[in-house]
Amino acid sequence: MKGNVIFLLLFFGHLYALPDTIRIGGLFHPEDDKQEVAFRYAVERVNADRAVLPRAKLLAQVETISPQDSFHASKRVCHLLRSGVAAIFGPQSAPAAAHVQSICDTMELPHLETRWDYRTRRESCLVNLYPHPAALSRAYVDLVRAWGWKSFTIVYENSDGLVRLQELLKAHGPTELPVSVRQLPDSHDYRPLLKQIKNSAESHIVLDCATERIRDVLQQAQQIGMMSDYHSYLVTSLDLHSVDLEEFKYGGTNITALRLLDPERADVQRVVRDWVYEEARKGRKLQLGHSAKDNMTFIKTETALMYDAVHLFAKALHDLDTSQQIDVRPLSCEAEDTWPHGYSLINYMKIVEMKGLTGVIKFDHQGFRSDFTLDIIELTRDGLQKAGTWNSSEGVNYTRSYGENQKQIVEILQNKTLIVTTILSAPYCMRKEASEKLTGNAQFEGYAIDLIHEISKILGFNYTFKLAPDGRYGSFHRETKEWDGMIRELLEQRADLAIADLTITYDREQVVDFTMPFMNLGISVLYRKPIKQPPNLFSFLSPLSLDVWIYMATAYLGVSVLLFILARFSPYEWDTPRNCLDEPPVLENQFTLLNSLWFTIGSLMQQGSDIAPKAVSTRMVAGMWWFFTLIMISSYTANLAAFLTVERMDSPIESAEDLAKQTKIKYGALKGGSTAAFFRDSNFSTYQRMWSFMESARPTVFTSSNKEGEERVMRGKGSYAYLMESTTIEYVIERNCDLTQVGGMLDSKGYGIAMPPNSPYRTAISGAVLKLQEEGKLHILKTKWWKEKRGGGSCRDETSKSSSTANELGLANVGGVFVVLMGGMGVACVIAVCEFVWKSRKVAVDERKEEASLCSEMASELRSALKCPSGAGGGGVTGGTRDGADSPYLHYGFNTKSQLH
C-alpha cells in the first residue's frame, strides 16, 4: 500500500512539470534602486540554487514607474500580464500599489508586497511580507509599558504614523498623564517644534518619521539640547541601523528601536557579501560602502523582504508544482481573464514556513505576518547593540543583564562633567574664606562638597558646582504650576545633580529622582536656651508644696488644741504647784493653750521645751507629733539640698505641642521648604493648627534661609521659635550656645541627592552613597563639619564649665532664712511693746487710776525696767522683786480659775 503511494507521487511528480521559464514581474520606483537590485539578485540566487526550484528558472521582468503615477502603473501591470508573469512584486508607493493590487485581485494573480500596509485584507491576492501593522503596534505598546513611561510625546510625520501608533494611544489610559502628539513640519526646520517639546519638560519621545529624516530630526534635537542623558527616544522605523548615528553615540541619550533584520546574523552577512561581490563583478552602479559593516547599513528591511519574497514565491511554486500542472499564460487587462493557479499559489505561500533574511516567514490564519521576532536595539558607545527581543507571544525580553547595563552607565559617567546645583546652607555648602578671589569649585566648601568629591572618586566623573539662582530648595507653586529652586534646575536640565540639605519628599520624588538618603533627620524646634532663674529668696519653702505647708500648719494647730483639751481632761496633768500651801489645794495644769502651742512648735523645730506631758493620753499626742515631725523634717531636709543647689531653668515651651497651645511665642519655618510643606500637608490637628497660625501671622514668620531663622530666634529673645530640621539644629546649637533644641522630632526623613527624572546615574550614585556609608566616611564627614570646622564644639566647653561650679550656696539661695529671722525678731519686739502697754493699762485700771495716770504708770514701769541694778554684787534685782505688789510682773502666775472642783 505504502509502496503504491510513493510510486504515484513519483509518477505525478514527473507528470507535473513547470514550464522551463517562469516570468515574474517587478515594479519599482527609479529612486529606490535597491529594491530592484534585491529583486534581481534574489532571482539569480533562486536560479543558481537548484534545490529551491529544480526544474524551472525564474525570469525577472522589471518595470520602472513613478511613485505617484497610478495610471502609468496600471499600464505597466497590464504590460507585464500580457507577457505572462506568474506574480507581481512591488511597487513600494501606496497609491501605485493600490492600483496594482486591484488589477491582481481581478486577474487572481499573486501580488507580493514588502511595505507597511494597513489596508491588507485577508481575501485579496496580496501576500505582504512586512510585519502586520497591528502586531508591530503591539510591540511599541509592550516596549513603552516595559519602560514604565507615564507620559510621552509622539512626533509623527504623516497620518500613517498615527495609524502605526494607534495601539499605543489606545493603551494609554485616561487616568494616566497626558500624551502629546505633534506633527513634524514639512519644512526641514524642526527646531520650533522640538523647542516646544523641550519646554513641556517631556523627556520621552516616540519618533515616527521616514528613515531618511531621522538623522536630521535628531541632529536638530541635539542643537537645542534635547539629546541629554535624560532623553529617551523610541524610533519606530525598522531601519535605524541604516542611519548614521555616529555623533549621538557619546551623548548618553537613550535611542531605542526595533529591527526585523539582524545585520549581525551570519547568513545575512553572507548574503550581503555575495551580493556586493556579484554587483561589483557585474560592474553595476550600486553605491556600496567600503567595508562589510558599511554595506549592512545599505540593506534595509524592505530590501531584505524583497529578497525573502522572491524565495517565498519560489518555494511555494515548487510545492505547488508537486501537486498540479502549472502553466503560465499571458493575461489581458481588457478581457475578463484570470489565472487558474493564482489562488492555489497564494495559499501555498501563506502556509509555507521558511527562514529568510528577516527571520522565520510565517503567516497566521488570516494570512498576515504576525508571528515574527523583532530585535530591540539601543544606541551605545559601540553603535547600535541588541538589548533584547520582542515577539508576539512573549512580549519584551531583555537579554542584556542589569549588571551589564549598569557597567555601561558607569563607563559613560567616567568621562562626563556633571553640573551640580546647590544652595548656600551651612554646613552643606558655604563660601570658602580666603584672602584672594576664588573661582569655580574652589569657592565652596562643606559637607555636600566633600560628599560629591567622594562620590566622584568612586565613579570617576568630573563636576562643576552651580548655585541655584533663587537660592531655594524646591517647592511646587500651585498657582503657576511650576517648581522653583534646585528642583527647577533639574527639571529644566540645567543641572545633573542637586545636593544640599534637600529632603526627600513625595512631591519631589514625583518629578525628580532621588538617591538613597545620605543623612537621616526629623523636624524639631530651635529656641533660645531657658533663662537661669535667680534663686528665690524664699527657696527654703520650695521643698514642700503650698498644700503641704497648709496641711502642716493645720496639723500644728489641731495637735496643739487637742493637746490642750486632753491635758485639761486628763487628771494626771493636774498638779499641785510646789510650795503652794493653799487650802483647799490649788491645782495647776501646765498645758495652757499657749503652752500647748509652745510645746508643739518646740518639737516641730526639733528643739523641745521644758514642758513635758505626764498623762498617757497627752504623751500619745506628743509621741505621734514627734513621729510626724521626724518624717516631715527629714523629708524637708532631703529635698532642701536639691532645691538650693539645682539651678532652676525657666522654659515656657517643652515641645511642639506646647507651641501649638499658645499664641504668645511666634513660630515659623523656612519658606518653600519641606518643613513648611510638612505642616501644610499634615492631617494631624495640632500641626494643622500650627500651620494656620503660621500662615496668618503678620509680619510673616517664614524665613528665606535657615540662617535668617536662627537670627530671628536670637533677636526674638524667647518670643520666636523656629521649626527646623534636627541636623541643622544640631549644627547651630554646637556653635550658638544661646540656642537649643526643644522637644523631640516630629517626623523622620532623609536627605538625598536629586537628579532629573529617568537619570541613568541614579543606581550608580546610590551605590556610591551606600558604599561611603558602610565605610564610615559619611560619619567622618559629619563629625568634621558639625563638630570640628567653623567653630564646632564651642558650646561643649561652656556646659562642662557650668556643671563644675554648681554647688556653692550664695546669699541668694539662703537669704530668705535671714529675712525670716529678722522678721521674727521684729515681730517679737512689737509683741513685747504690746504686752507692756497692755499690762500697764491693766494695772492702772485695776488700781482705778485716772486716765492721765496711765502714762505715768507706763513711765514708772519703764523706768523700773531700765533701772540699772543697784549694787552689782547685791544679788541682783529681778523683775519679780522690783516694785512689790504694784508691778505688773507680780501678777504672773497661775490663775486661780484653773482650780479643779
- Enumerate binding residues for ligand ASP (CB under 6 A): 473, 501-503, 670, 673-675, 724-725
Q: In angstroms, what is the minimal distance from the CB of 681 to ligand ASP?
A: 13
Distance, in Å, from the CA atom of 519 to the CA atom of 731, rounded to the nearest integer, reads 14
**Residue with smaller CB distance to ligand ASP, 350 or 666:** 666
Do the beta carbons of residue 730 and residue 740 sit within 8 Å?
Answer: no
**Residue with smaller CB distance to ligand ASP, 513 or 725:** 725
**Residue with smaller CB distance to ligand ASP, 490 or 563:** 490
**Residue with smaller CB distance to ligand ASP, 239 or 501:** 501
Q: In angstroms, what is the minimal distance from the CB of 466 to ligand ASP?
A: 18
**Residue with smaller CB distance to ligand ASP, 374 or 519:** 519
Do the beta carbons of residue 282 and residue 258 sit within 8 Å?
Answer: no
Q: In angstroms, what is the minimal distance from the CB of 723 to ligand ASP?
A: 8
**Residue with smaller CB distance to ligand ASP, 243 or 502:** 502
Contacts for 61 with CB less than 8 Å, ≥ 6 apart: 23, 24, 25, 26, 80, 83, 85
- Quick one: cell of 268? 545575512
Q: In angstroms, what is the minimal distance from the CB of 502 to ligand ASP?
A: 5
Q: In angstroms, what is the minimal distance from the CB of 238 to ligand ASP?
A: 46
Q: In angstroms, what is the minimal distance from the CB of 503 to ligand ASP?
A: 4
Whose cell is 513625595? That residue is 506
Torsion sign (Cα): 588, 592, 596, 597? negative
**Residue with smaller CB distance to ligand ASP, 643 or 678:** 678
Contacts for 487 with CB less than 8 Å, ≥ 6 apart: 473, 474, 475, 498, 508, 511, 512, 754
- Quick one: cell of 793? 564644639
Distance, in Å, from the CA atom of 517 to the CA atom of 395, rounded to the nearest integer, reads 35
**Residue with smaller CB distance to ligand ASP, 352 or 502:** 502
Q: In angstroms, what is the minimal distance from the CB of 526 to ligand ASP?
A: 11
Contacts for 680 with CB less than 8 Å, ≥ 6 apart: 691
Whose cell is 492555489? That residue is 344
Q: In angstroms, what is the minimal distance from the CB of 764 to ligand ASP?
A: 23
C-alpha gyration radius of the chain = 54
**Residue by residue, what is the 3-state secondary structure of 402-440?**
HHHHHHHHHHHHHCCEEEEEECCECCCEEECCCCCCCCH
Q: In angstroms, what is the minimal distance from the CB of 544 to ligand ASP?
A: 46
70 backbone dihedrals φ, ψ, rounded to 5°? -75, -30
Do the beta carbons of residue 214 and residue 236 sit within 8 Å?
Answer: no
User: How are strands ordered across the β-sheet holding 417-422?
Assistant: 462-467, 417-422, 497-498, 754-755, 513-514
Do the beta carbons of residue 214 and residue 240 sit within 8 Å?
Answer: yes
Q: In angstroms, what is the minimal distance from the CB of 455 to ligand ASP?
A: 19
What is the end-to-end Cα distance of the chain in Å, rounded? 159
**Residue with smaller CB distance to ligand ASP, 127 or 670:** 670
- Quick one: cell of 858? 507706763
Distance, in Å, from the CA atom of 323 to the CA atom of 16, rounded to the nearest integer, reads 7
Contacts for 601 with CB less than 8 Å, ≥ 6 apart: 556, 560
Whose cell is 495716770? That residue is 853
Burial class (CB within 10 angstroms; exposed 0-12, middle 13-18, buried 19+) of 629: buried
Whose cell is 491635758? That residue is 567
- Quick one: cell of 455? 562620590
Q: In angstroms, what is the minimal distance from the CB of 494 to ligand ASP?
A: 19
**Residue with smaller CB distance to ligand ASP, 752 or 757:** 752
How many alpha carbons lie under 13 Å from residue 322 in its C-beta half-sphere? 13
Q: In angstroms, what is the minimal distance from the CB of 673 to ligand ASP?
A: 2
Q: In angstroms, what is the minimal distance from the CB of 522 to ligand ASP?
A: 11
**Residue with smaller CB distance to ligand ASP, 342 or 709:** 709
Q: In angstroms, what is the minimal distance from the CB of 682 to ligand ASP?
A: 14
**Residue with smaller CB distance to ligand ASP, 36 or 725:** 725
The maximal CA–CA distance of the chain, rounded, in angstroms, is: 180
Q: In angstroms, what is the minimal distance from the CB of 677 to ligand ASP?
A: 7
Distance, in Å, from the CA atom of 306 to the CA atom of 297, rounded to the nearest integer, reads 16
**Residue with smaller CB distance to ligand ASP, 41 or 514:** 514
**Residue with smaller CB distance to ligand ASP, 406 or 682:** 682
Residue 722 CA to its chain's centroid (Å):
23
Q: What's the chain's length in residues?
A: 901
**Residue with smaller CB distance to ligand ASP, 675 or 766:** 675
**Residue with smaller CB distance to ligand ASP, 339 or 473:** 473
Specify the pairing of strand 204-208 against strand 666-668: unpaired
**Residue with smaller CB distance to ligand ASP, 77 or 448:** 448
Q: In angstroms, what is the minimal distance from the CB of 725 to ligand ASP?
A: 5
Using Cβ positions, the residue closest to ligand ASP within the complex turns out to be 673
Contacts for 132 with CB less than 8 Å, ≥ 6 apart: 120, 364, 368, 369, 370
Q: In angstroms, what is the minimal distance from the CB of 710 to ligand ASP?
A: 12
Contacts for 140 with CB less than 8 Å, ≥ 6 apart: 164, 165, 167, 168, 206, 234, 236, 258
